[in-house]
Homo-oligomer: A and B are copies of this chain.
Amino acid sequence: MTDSGGAREESSVAGTSRRDAVLESALGVFARYGYRRTSMEEVARTARISRPGLYFLFESKESLFRAAVTQALERDLAAAERLLADQGTPLRERVLGAFDRWAGRYVGPLSNDVSGVIEQNPDLLGAIVVTAPDRFEALVTKAVEDGPFPETATSVVRTLISVSVGLKHQVETRQEYRDRLAVAIDLLVG
């Protein structure tokens, strides 16, 4: 458990480090092939880095996976928060945008493998995967409470989340997901 938690700063642009770039491409590979079937070799090749170099950045395959998932979750959560906060657009559209961003990535092809790893390592990677959906729910609920029916916000958002989960199993394309979720939002968010 060394993984680097200390201060590391130099090279590249302000907020985005080399590390972050590797994390991003690694997530793409994990999402495409699943955790078990992606090798560090493949991740390294995709990130245009050597495999030992990858081990220099991340202690192990597991810690790399954990970091990649965590980063994606945090980023999508932040994006959802930003979309929801924009008072310029109507509530319905803000909520739709937040779900689209959140579910598009989090419930995507990645989720199968995330849940697979969770089942086998309940302790590892566990915290973020449980808390992130809760945080998303809280965010959306807060936004809906500023709408016309604050008292039903909790139920409405819970129901919308169920719709979102269901749609992921029913539809083929992201566009269809958006369209049908928009209908549900129109019905549920006054």
Interface of A is mostly: helix
A87 within 8 A of B: no
Output the nearest chain B residue to A185 by Cβ-Cβ distance.
B159
Chain A, interface size category, equals 20 to 34
A170 within 8 A of B: yes
Q: How would residues 127 to 156 of chain A score, 1 for a CB under 8 Å from any chain B CB and 0 otherwise?
A: 000000000000000000000000010011
Output the nearest chain B residue to A167 by Cβ-Cβ distance.
B162
Output the nearest chain B residue to A188 by Cβ-Cβ distance.
B187
Residues of chain A having any CB pair with chain B under 8 Å: 152, 155-156, 158-159, 161-167, 169-170, 180, 183-184, 186-188
11 contacts between A and B (CB under 8 A): A155-B187, A156-B187, A159-B163, A159-B180, A159-B187, A162-B162, A162-B170, A162-B180, A163-B166, A164-B166, A169-B169
